[in-house]
C-alpha cells in the first residue's frame, strides 16, 4: 500500500475527464445540429463543406440575379408593347391619310397626331429604365452626355447640338414716319402721286382743292386724299398741309392694314414754337406706327417701309430717333425670360465641349483652368476625372459665375440666370430673335459637342447576367436602340429629312403632303412594327430561357444542400445515443473516483494495529 501515489484515483480521474470531454462534444453537436463545428472535428469534411456552402450561396444569389433579369426583360417588353400600340395607330392613320377623299387640312390634322406619336416613341426610349439603367437608348457611350430640352437646339451632325434660344417678344414693333414741316410748303404738283410703301401696301397721295380727287396713277394703290393749300404762304398753312397729310395717311393705314397696326398709330402734329413770328422753325410731324402683335426683331424685319419722297420724309428707328430704317424695329429684350434646361445623362468625357453664349467650356481628364477672356470669347477647362455629374455641374456653375462677373467683355450677356437643379443646368434669357444664324445671334447660343457620339451612336446596350455561382457562368444579351430614328420614323421639321439614331425626332414621317407619301409611310411603319416584333420575340425567348435557368439553379441548390447536410449536419439520434452512453460512463467514473479516494484509508488500520 502506497500513500504518495493513488494510481487507482488517477486512472479513474483520467477516464472521468475523457468522458466529460466526450459529453461536451455531444452537447455541442446536439445544441448546434452540426457534426462539424470546428476544423478539429473533421478537417477534410470542413474543407469540402465550405466549398459546397460557397456554391450553395452562389446558386441562391444567381437565382435572384436571374429573377432580376426577368424583371428587367418584363419592363423592357412592357414598354415595347406600348410602342407596338403606337405603331399600329400610326399605320392606321397612314392608311387613312392615303385616301384621296381627304383635303389637305384633313391630312394636316393626321400629321399632327403622327408627329406626337413619334415623339412619344422617343420619350419611351429615353425614359424606360430598370434600376436607373436606360434600356432603349443604347450604350451610354452612344448617347450625348447632355441634352437641351429646347426645340431651338437641334442636332447638326458630328456629335454636335446647337441653336439659339430666344424669349418670346413682349412688346410690339415700331417705326416712326418723320415728315419735316418744309414739306407743307410744296406745291400740289410736287405732292400729288407721291407714295408711302408700308408692309407691302402702296399708299398714294391724291391732292386736290376740288370736291373730288384728281385720281390715282395706279389703280392698285391706296388713295390718301389730302386737301392741300396752295400756296402755303404762312406757317399756319404749312402746318395744316402736313397735319392733313398725317391724318389722311393714318386713316388709310388703319382702314387697309388693321391686322398689322389696328388703331395703334399715334399722330404727332407739326407745331409752331414761336407763334408770334411767322416763318420761324416748325417742329416735324410724325406717325408712330406700332404693330398690334408683339414682335421680335426677326419678325419686325419682314415689315418693310419706303417712300418715293427724296427729301423731307424719313422712317426713323424708334429707339435712337436719328437712324433711318427700311423696316420696322423691335426690342431685342423681352420683359419675361425664356427658361430651359440642359440635362446631363452622364459626366462629360475628355474632349467634350459646352458653349453658352460666348463662353466655351472644355472638359478634360487631366487639366483644368479657370475662366479667362482670350480676346474673342470666354474660355475655361474643367477636369472631370473621377467626378460625378453633380460635381461637374458645380464646376460649371462656378465658371458661369466668373464669366458673369466679367462685365468688361460680357461673354454671357444674353444669359439672365443660371442654377443647378439635380442633374440639370437651368438657364434663362430675355433676348428675342433677331433672325441671325448661330455664330452671330443676339439670342443665347447653346452648343453641346460630344466628342465620341458619332463613333458610338446606335450601339446596342449590352448586358451580362451572372446566372451561376462561378465566374464564367453568365448569360449575355443586348437591347437594341428603339428610338424613332432607329425605327426609321424620325424626321426633321420638314417631315422628309431622316434623323440619325440617338437623335430625337423633330417631326414624324410625312403623311400630309400627298396620298402617295402616306402610302409610302405605310411600308416604313410596317418595317418598324417588324423590328419591334423581332426585339420582343428576342426578349421573350431570353425570358423563357431564364425561367429554365431558375429551375436548374433550384435543383442544383437542393441537391448540393443535401450533400452538404450529409457532411456537416449531425445525426441527432446517433448523437443522443452517444450522449447517453458518455453520461453513464461519466457517472460511473465519478463513483469509481470516490471509491479510489477511499483506498488510502486502509493504511490507518495498519497504523492503529
What end-to-end distance do the CA atoms of the chain give, in Å?
Answer: 15
Interatomic CA distance for residues 431 and 466, integer angstroms: 54
Mean pLDDT (whole number) for 218-246:
92
By percentage, how much of the chain surpasses pLDDT 90?
A: 67
Q: Is the pLDDT of residue 236 over 70?
A: yes
Q: How far is CA 352 from the centre of its chain?
A: 17
| Range among 252-256, 441-445, 580-584 rated most confident | 252-256
**304/599: higher pLDDT:** 304
CB neighbours of residue 228 within 10 Å:
21
**Confidence grade of residue 1 (pLDDT, cut at 50, 70, 90):** low
Among candidates 387, 339, 431, which has minimal Cα distance to 148?
339
Q: Is 121 helix (H, G, I), strand (E, B) or coil?
A: helix
Work out whether the CA dihedral 527, 533, 535, 537 comes out positive or negative: negative
pLDDT, residue 432, reads 92
The DSSP output letter for 140 is G
Q: Is the pLDDT of residue 540 over 90?
A: yes
Helix (H), strand (E) at residue 156 = strand 153-157
Phi, psi of 70, deg, nearest 5: -65, -40
Interatomic CA distance for residues 465 and 553, integer angstroms: 14
CB neighbours of residue 157 within 10 Å:
9
pLDDT, residue 314, reads 96
Q: Is the pLDDT of residue 213 over 80?
A: no
pLDDT, residue 453, reads 82
Query: How far from 486 is each of 298, 431, 435, 525, 531, CA to CA, in Å?
Result: 36, 36, 33, 12, 9
The average confidence (pLDDT) of the chain is: 91
Q: What is the pLDDT of residues 396-412, one digit of tens each?
A: 999 999 999 999 999 99
pLDDT, residue 35, reads 83
**Confidence grade of residue 381 (pLDDT, cut at 50, 70, 90):** very high
Interatomic CA distance for residues 582 and 16, integer angstroms: 10
**Confidence grade of residue 324 (pLDDT, cut at 50, 70, 90):** very high
**405/566: higher pLDDT:** 405
Q: How far is CA 80 from the centre of its chain?
A: 21
pLDDT, residue 207, reads 87
pLDDT, residue 358, reads 94
Query: How far from 426 is each of 70, 99, 165, CA to CA, in Å?
Result: 37, 46, 13
Range list of β-strands (E), 221-295: 222-227, 265-268, 285-294
Interatomic CA distance for residues 6 and 3, integer angstroms: 7
Say what angle helices 43-97 and 104-127 make with each other, to 10 degrees: 170
Q: What is the pLDDT of residues 109-146, one digit of tens each?
A: 999 999 999 999 999 998 899 998 889 888 766 678 89
CB 364 within 8 A of CB 348: no
Helix (H), strand (E) at residue 424 = strand 424-431
pLDDT, residue 217, reads 84
pLDDT, residue 441, reads 73
Mean pLDDT (whole number) for 169-182:
96
Long-range contacts made by residues 367-371, C-beta under 8 angstroms, separation at least 24?
370/399, 370/402, 371/399, 371/402, 371/403, 371/406
**458/240: higher pLDDT:** 240
Kindly give the residue spans of alpha helices, DSSP state H, lying in 438-571: 453-456, 515-568
Range list of β-strands (E), 166-317: 172-179, 195-198, 201-208, 222-227, 265-268, 285-294, 305-307, 313-316
Among candidates 197, 174, 285, which has minimal Cα distance to 239?
285
**8/424: higher pLDDT:** 424
pLDDT, residue 518, reads 95
Interatomic CA distance for residues 278 and 518, integer angstroms: 76
**Confidence grade of residue 543 (pLDDT, cut at 50, 70, 90):** very high
Q: Is the pLDDT of residue 336 over 80?
A: yes
Q: Is the pLDDT of residue 424 over 90?
A: yes
Among candidates 138, 142, 139, which has minimal Cα distance to 159?
142
pLDDT, residue 28, reads 83
Q: Is the pLDDT of residue 371 over 90?
A: yes
Q: Is the pLDDT of residue 296 over 90?
A: yes
Tallying the residues shown for the chain, one arrives at 609
- Cβ partners under 8 Å of residue 309, min gap 6: 183, 194
Mean pLDDT (whole number) for 198-217:
83
Report, in angstroms and rounded to the nearest whole number, the Rg of the chain calculated over CA atoms: 46
Interatomic CA distance for residues 404 and 480, integer angstroms: 43
pLDDT, residue 155, reads 86
The DSSP output letter for 493 is T
CB neighbours of residue 469 within 10 Å:
19
CB 183 within 8 A of CB 242: yes
CB neighbours of residue 321 within 10 Å:
10
Q: Is the pLDDT of residue 285 over 90?
A: yes
CB 443 within 8 A of CB 428: no
Conformation bin of residue 132: beta by default, left when phi > 0, alpha when psi is -120 to 50: left
Q: Is 339 helix (H, G, I), strand (E, B) or coil?
A: strand
Interatomic CA distance for residues 171 and 295, integer angstroms: 6
Angle at 86 between CA 83 and CA 90, to 5 degrees: 135
Q: What is the pLDDT of residues 459-495, one digit of tens each?
A: 888 999 999 999 989 999 999 999 999 999 999 889 9
Mean pLDDT (whole number) for 589-599:
85
Work out whether the CA dihedral 157, 160, 164, 168 comes out positive or negative: positive
Interatomic CA distance for residues 358 and 346, integer angstroms: 24
**452/184: higher pLDDT:** 184
pLDDT, residue 503, reads 84
Cis status of the peptide bond prior to 231, with omega within 30 of 0? yes
Interatomic CA distance for residues 102 and 575, integer angstroms: 91
Side-chain-side CA neighbours of residue 400 (13 Å): 22
Amino acid at each position: 500500500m502506497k500513500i504518495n501515489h493513488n494510481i487507482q484515483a488517477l486512472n479513474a480521474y483520467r477516464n472521468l475527464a475523457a468522458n466529460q470531454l466526450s459529453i461536451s462534444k455531444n452537447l455541442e453537436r446536439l445544441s448546434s445540429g452540426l457534426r462539424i463545428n470546428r476544423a478539429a472535428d473533421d478537417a477534410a469534411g470542413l474543407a469540402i463543406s465550405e466549398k459546397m456552402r460557397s456554391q450553395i450561396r452562389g446558386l441562391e444569389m444567381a437565382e435572384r440575379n436571374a429573377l432580376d433579369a426577368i424583371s428587367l426583360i418584363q419592363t423592357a417588353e412592357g414598354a415595347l408593347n406600348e410602342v407596338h400600340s403606337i405603331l399600329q395607330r400610326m399605320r392606321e392613320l397612314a392608311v387613312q391619310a392615303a385616301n384621296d377623299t381627304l383635303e389637305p387640312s384633313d391630312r394636316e390634322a393626321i400629321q399632327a397626331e403622327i408627329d406626337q406619336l413619334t415623339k412619344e416613341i422617343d420619350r419611351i426610349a429615353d425614359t424606360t429604365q430598370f434600376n436607373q439603367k436606360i434600356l432603349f437608348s443604347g450604350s451610354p457611350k452612344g448617347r450625348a452626355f447632355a441634352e437641351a430640352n429646347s426645340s431651338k437646339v437641334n442636332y447638326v451632325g458630328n456629335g454636335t447640338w446647337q441653336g439659339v434660344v430666344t424669349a418670346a417678344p413682349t412688346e410690339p414693333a415700331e417705326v416712326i414716319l418723320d415728315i419735316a414741316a418744309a414739306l407743307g410748303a410744296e406745291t400740289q404738283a410736287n405732292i400729288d402721286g407721291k407714295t408711302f410703301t408700308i408692309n407691302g401696301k402702296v399708299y398714294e397721295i391724291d391732292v386736290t382743292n376740288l370736291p373730288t380727287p384728281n385720281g390715282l396713277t395706279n389703280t392698285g394703290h391706296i388713295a390718301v386724299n389730302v386737301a392741300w393749300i396752295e400756296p402755303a404762304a404762312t406757317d399756319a398753312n404749312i402746318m395744316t398741309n402736313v397735319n392733313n397729310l398725317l391724318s389722311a395717311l393714318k386713316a388709310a393705314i388703319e382702314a387697309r392694314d388693321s391686322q398689322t397696326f389696328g388703331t395703334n398709330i399715334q399722330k404727332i402734329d407739326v407745331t409752331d414754337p414761336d407763334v408770334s413770328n411767322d416763318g420761324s422753325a416748325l417742329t416735324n410731324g410724325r406717325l408712330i406706327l406700332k404693330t398690334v402683335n408683339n414682335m421680335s426683331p426677326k419678325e419686325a424685319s419682314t415689315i418693310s417701309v419706303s417712300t418715293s419722297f427724296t427729301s423731307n420724309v424719313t422712317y426713323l428707328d424708334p429707339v435712337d430717333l436719328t437712324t433711318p430704317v427700311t423696316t420696322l424695329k423691335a426690342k431685342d429684350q423681352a420683359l419675361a425670360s425664356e427658361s430651359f434646361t440642359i440635362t446631363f445623362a452622364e459626366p462629360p468625357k475628355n474632349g467634350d465641349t459646352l458653349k453658352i453664349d460666348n463662353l466655351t467650356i472644355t472638359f478634360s481628364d487631366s487639366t483644368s483652368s479657370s475662366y479667362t477672356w482670350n480676346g474673342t470669347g470666354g474660355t475655361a477647362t474643367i477636369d472631370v476625372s473621377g467626378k460625378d455629374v453633380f460635381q461637374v455641374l458645380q464646376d460649371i456653375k462656378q465658371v458661369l459665375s466668373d464669366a458673369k462677373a466679367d462685365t468688361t467683355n460680357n461673354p454671357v450677356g444674353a444669359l439672365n440666370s443660371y442654377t443647378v437643379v439635380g442633374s440639370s443646368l437651368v438657364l434663362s434669357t430675355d433676348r428675342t430673335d433677331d433672325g441671325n444664324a448661330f455664330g452671330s445671334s443676339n439670342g443665347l447660343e447653346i452648343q453641346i459637342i460630344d466628342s465620341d457620339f458619332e463613333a458610338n451612336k446606335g450601339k446596342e446596350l449590352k448586358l451580362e447576367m451572372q446566372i451561376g455561382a462561378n465566374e464564367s457562368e453568365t448569360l449575355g444579351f443586348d437591347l437594341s436602340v428603339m428610338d424613332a430614328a432607329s425605327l426609321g420614323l424620325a424626321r426633321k421639321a420638314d417631315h422628309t429629312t431622316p434623323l440619325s439614331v440617338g437623335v430625337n425626332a423633330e417631326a414624324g414621317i410625312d403623311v400630309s403632303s400627298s396620298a402617295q407619301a402616306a402610302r409610302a409611310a405605310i411600308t416604313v411603319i410596317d418595317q418598324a412594327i417588324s423590328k419591334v416584333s423581332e426585339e420582343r420575340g428576342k426578349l421573350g425567348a431570353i425570358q423563357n430561357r431564364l425561367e429554365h435557368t431558375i429551375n436548374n439553379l433550384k435543383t442544383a441548390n437542393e441537391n448540393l444542400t443535401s450533400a452538404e447536410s450529409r457532411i456537416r449536419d449531425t445525426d441527432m439520434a446517433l448523437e443522443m445515443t452517444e450522449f447517453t452512453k458518455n453520461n453513464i460512463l461519466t457517472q460511473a467514473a465519478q463513483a469509481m473516483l470516490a471509491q479510489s479516494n477511499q483506498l488510502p484509508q486502509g493504511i490507518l488500520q495498519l497504523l492503529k494495529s
